[in-house]
Amino acid sequence: MSEKAAETYKEEAGKEENALQKGSEEIGNIIESLKPPVVIDGGEVGSHLNEYQGKYVDIGLNTNGNDVTTDDWELFYAGNGRIYLIAADYVPTDTLAAWQVIGDNGKLKEFQKYTTYGVRWPSTPTEFLALPTEPNNYLDLVMHKGYTLDDSKDNLKAVSQLLNTASWNGIKTAASADKQKCIDFVIGGPTLEMWCEAWNEAVKGDTNGFVTIDPEPQTSGNGYGVKHGSKSSTYLYVNGTTSTSLTSEQLGELGKTYKTFFPHTGTSAWNGCSGYWLASPSAIGSLSLMGVYGSGHVNYNDYNYDYLGVRPVVCLESGVQLTETSKGSNIYNVSM
């Protein structure tokens, strides 16, 4: 075979190979398109929480004014067959006011707007939620385990407002009408126990040095601290220390991998907001709540601190199913 003929043969063989590869890819795409969409429920999410955390769930509720509803709520936690979503970022105070949560027309009139994202109570919170004793009440799904709220402490009054579903119902009614039936209740933020359980599931197998953090009830201070192994404190960094912040590399990994827990990371406030409230009292004193900060730690601060926001938590109804909207999109639709 001449050199020219050999080159022609190779060229034609290459074209045929490319055509076969293209045809195979097209067939593969057709097969993928014919596959039924992924459908999951509370049991599946609870069994594989690490896999599903951070997936977006469209409940037809825009939080950030960007005209996109599908990237505003993330799958966060599962318990007792229920699925919990968390706002994908701090909800702007103007949005909370429009939902009639805070401000003069809201349920929480004393819950004040401070910055774009920061909210605070006044010097003295004025309400306390009487905790019901009936079994299977919504509080049993989120409430502090083995810990009793004491309405003599102002920080516990603030916690009760975060847990009072009536105060946050405006978020449910703001969701699209066809999806409201899938929402059971809304609270103003996760409890410390809920956050720690979700975080501990997320860091299984982590190679970046982030550790599990557990809530530590401290009844002498009528509140909580956090701990990792033998380390116990009123605050703790997620690399297991109490004295130093995370490295820049760890902060970068934290923001990239664990945005569901730390939606923005850094050493300075972001849009006037450096953290968000947890619905748990701190043992540091009768004025302080627990919170989560972008610098990578679970900490405490007084309830009237200016630069913390809220990340509401939506509990979906029992029996709700999530259906993936398109392959690889990580966006799920919610339905009964």
What is the number of H-type helices and E-type strands within the chain? 10, 18
Cβ–Cβ < 8 Å for 114, 303: no
Residues 6+ apart with CB under 8 A from 196: 212, 213, 214, 215, 226, 298
Convert the pLDDT of each residue in 137-193 to its tens digit.
677 788 777 666 677 888 888 888 898 888 899 999 999 888 999 999 999 999 999
Which has the closest alpha carbon to 190: 67, 83, 44, 314? 314
Convert the pLDDT of each residue in 304-313 to its tens digit.
888 899 999 9
Reading the block at residue 221, the tokens are: 């201070």
Cβ–Cβ < 8 Å for 87, 63: yes
Reading the block at residue 229, the tokens are: 């192994």
Convert the pLDDT of each residue in 199-258 to its tens digit.
999 999 999 999 999 999 876 667 899 999 999 999 999 999 998 888 888 988 998 899
Reading the block at residue 257, the tokens are: 């991998």
Residue with tokens 């050999």: 6
Convert the pLDDT of each residue in 30-75 to its tens digit.
555 566 778 888 999 999 999 999 999 999 888 876 656 666 899 9
Cβ–Cβ < 8 Å for 332, 42: no
Backbone φ and ψ of 204, nearest 5°: -60, 125
pTM over 0.75: yes
Residue with tokens 């690399």: 239
What's the rounded Cα separation, in Å, for the pair 113 and 110?
9
Cβ–Cβ < 8 Å for 84, 194: yes
What's the rounded Cα separation, in Å, for the pair 110 and 125?
7
